[in-house]
Structure 1
Amino acid sequence: MSFLYLILRNRLFLWMLLIINILGTVYGYIWYGYQLSETPTIFIPFVPDSPTASLFFVFVLFAFLLKRNWPFFEALALITLVKYGVWAVVMNILTLKVTGNLPWEGYMLIISHGAMAVQGLLYGVFYKMKWWHIAIAAIWTLHNDVIDYVYMQYPNYPGLEGYISHIGYFTFWLSILTIAIACYFARRYQQNRTLTIY
């Protein structure tokens, strides 16, 4: 495990991750372009879930490269990277199961979003979040669920329209799980403050 930590701390590796996440964030906002063009202005900040999650992580990585921690962004990044990473993987697999078909972009999204969730978890040991950071990030996350499944601004997945209530239920509990994961890392930091990224 110490070898893994050594890689995660490596500045060249951090720069590589930063560039990849910036490119992924830009692509993600482009991917949401059509839906955003039809979204009421008030809901726009809450629609492009995955690129916003990777944007939070961009701030985390930038802080690491400055030899700093920005706990508020760490809480947002951890919760949203894991949540939307897992969510997108499940939705694309569900699309394949329901429709019998998944375009190449779907497989690309499975790989990229799976990587989102993994990086969110791997870097959690270096975060310096406190409970109030998680509380604010939790409010953001659960509020986002309300926007998606009460005001019906959820991401469009053709073929899954008949499953929206089930998807909304799954998404809510996925939010609760990722908030609990963030609480675990916050407690770990409170008990052991020796592990740092720099």
Structure 2
Amino acid sequence: MKPSFLWSRPFLSSRPVLWLLFVCNLLGTIYGYIWYDNQLLDTWEKHPHWQIVFVPDSPTASLFFTLSLLFLLFPAGLSRFKFLRGLIEGLAVVTSVKYGVWAVSMIFAGAAQGGELVWQDWMLVASHLAMAVEALLYVRLFRFGTGMLLVAGAWTLLNDAVDYRYEVYPWLPQTLWDNVPQVMVFTFCLTIASMAAGWLALRGAKRAKTEF
């Protein structure tokens, strides 16, 4: 078996792989929300309640991707939800790429300024890189278009604005507490880059389908 088979359409669309990814992402999503429990509680107690929606960034991105897998697992049963499918898939791609890269960047940026890397950090690095990679791989199987990609990007930019306007951004390593302005600029730029990455992946998928 050639290594390229592991990212081929037949392999990615096979039901065992889809179910495996669904279970892994579902468990990761649940773990992610548990990881945010202290910040969620703190936000609920100290901020207007509407802001709590913008707190758990990575697990919400993982939730979008998990829901996207349901449309691949049950295409006939969920075929009537075309608009919802496109919206969720667009959000899955933009947010998974953005927060996957963001989390890894923050972990290593904190370590570069003297923070200690523990085993949980390496677990988070692996899981968040997987978020970004799987989202881009599955673009070829998704059905969202450029319009939904722009909507997803707009929502993510709104999330960034709320995060740094009201200080509900994900808690940073202590070594980065003095670098919030730089982190904010990086975050906004990464959202734009994630939209671009999603668009390029979408364009590549359409080109490959046309050539096929």
1:66 corresponds to which letter in structure 2?
A: F
Name the aligned partner's letter for residue 143 of structure 1.
L
Q: Which 10-residue stretch deviates more, 38-47 or 76-85?
A: 38-47
CA RMSD of aligned residues (A): 1.8
CA deviations on 1:82-117 (whole Å, 9 max, x unpaired) are 100000111111121112412221111111101111
- The residue number in structure 1 matching 2:183 is 167
Give me the identity figure in percent: 42
Structure 2 unaligned spans of 5+: none
| Equivalences, count | 195
How far does residue 137 in structure 1 lie from its aligned partner after superposition? Answer: 0.6
Residue 52 of structure 2 is aligned to residue 44 of structure 1:
yes
Q: Indicate which of 141, 163, 177 corresponds to 2:193.
A: 177
Give secondary structure in 2 for the equivalent of 1:154: coil
Where do residues 52-63 of structure 1 align in structure 2 (5 Å cutoff)?
Answer: 52-63=60-71
- Normalised by the size of structure 1, how large is the TM-score? 0.91
1:37 partner letter: L
**Cα offset, 1:186, TM superposition:** 3.6
User: 1:79 touches 1:137 (CA, 8 Å); kept in 2?
Assistant: yes
1:27 maps to amino acid: Y
Q: 1-side partners of 2:198 and 2:133: how far apart? A: 14
User: 1:93 corresponds to which residue?
Assistant: 108
Shift in Å, 1:3? 5.4
Answer whether contact 2:89 2:144 (CA < 8 A) is retained: yes
Are 1:122 and 2:137 counterparts? yes
Maintained 8 Å contact 1:89/1:113? yes
Q: Give the Å deviation of 1:162.
A: 0.4
Question: Normalised by the size of structure 2, how large is the TM-score?
Answer: 0.86
Give, as a single letter, the amino acid of the residue that structure 1 aligns with 2:109: L
The amino acid of 1:12's aligned partner reads P
- Which of 48, 60, 65 lines up with 2:73 in the alignment? 65
Q: List alignment gaps of at least 5 residues for structure 1.
A: none
Q: Deviations over 1:48-101 (max 9, x none)?
A: 000000000011101100125722111100000010000011111112111241
Contact 1:127 / 1:185 at 8 angstroms: preserved in 2? no
Q: Secondary structure at the match of 1:99?
A: coil
Partner residue of 1:141? 156
Does the residue aligned with 1:129 lie in a helix, a strand or coil?
coil
**Higher mean C-alpha deviation, range 152-161 or range 82-91:** 152-161
- 1:77 is matched with 92
Q: For residue 79 of structure 1, give the secondary structure of its aligned residue in structure 2.
A: helix
SS state of the match for residue 156, structure 2? helix
Q: Which has the larger radius of gyration?
A: 2
Tell me which residue corresponds to 1:4.
7
Q: Is the 8 A contact 2:139 2:205 kept in 1?
A: no
